[in-house]
Amino acid sequence: MSRYIGPSCRQCKAEGTKLFLKGDRCYSAKCAITKSEAGANTRMKKGRPRTKISEYGIRLREKQKLRRFYGMNEAQFHRIYEIANKMSGQTGHNFLQLLERRLDNVVYRLGFATSRKQARQLVLHGHFLVNGKRVDIPSFLVSAGDVVAAAEKSRETALLKENAEVAAARTVPQWLEVNSEKIEGKIIALPARDQIDAPVTEQLVVEFYAR
């Protein structure tokens, strides 16, 4: 499946919820979802009928929402599901945990990138190290105890310094520990379900693939 190169906001509109694909803009009044809420409320008041969605459609939309939330193509996304399905425990939780463990997601969660898309580019360009070794694979899975840090030369880049300054005022997930001054973070533990803010019911995604 080819990479989506259209407007990010269009994906949020398609799913009817914020997927936080454009960083700080998603938290502002400029967000397309925020702008459209008033219009949607007006249409509901006028009695505009809703289209009934099938059981298959509900599960498809939930899968698409999660895939877009993490900014992945279908082949990558399904491959991670297959790995999760072979693990012991709840497939849905395993799936979300694997998605959170991706290096590009961790860089984003630590606040060193304003979006997962930007984090992916930073990783691809070799700006980050894992346990002291350069890793330029966004899908690399981190483990508990790993340390993710900006490469020495990369710490002086304006973009990373600016992102780190903004990140210092934010709260990172409990499973991560961050040092914004050093542009460095540590994976304290693997994330529990209540520490993952993905706006989906993961069981529906599992049911979609298990059909």
CATH number at residue 160: 3.10.290.10
What pLDDT score does 46 carry?
57
% of the chain residues with pLDDT over 90? 72
* Higher-confidence position of 184 and 16: 184
Do 106 and 189 lie in a common domain? yes
Answer whether residue 60 shows pLDDT above 60: yes
Q: 144 and 81, same structural domain? A: no
The answer to whether position 1 is within a domain reads no
Stated pTM of the model: 0.79
The secondary element (H helix, E strand) that includes residue 176 is strand 176-179
Residue 2 lies in a domain: no
Q: Is residue 40 part of a domain?
A: yes
Predicted pLDDT of residue 36: 60
Residue 49 lies in a domain: yes
- Tally of domains within the chain: 2
Question: Which DSSP letter does residue 193 get?
Answer: G
What's the chain's average pLDDT?
A: 87
Q: What token pair was written down for 129? A: 């190290």
Strand 133-134: give its sheet, edge to edge: 133-134, 128-130, 147-150, 184-187, 176-179
What average pLDDT does the segment 81-107 reach? 97
pLDDT at 181 over 70: yes
106 is in which domain, residue-wise? 100-193
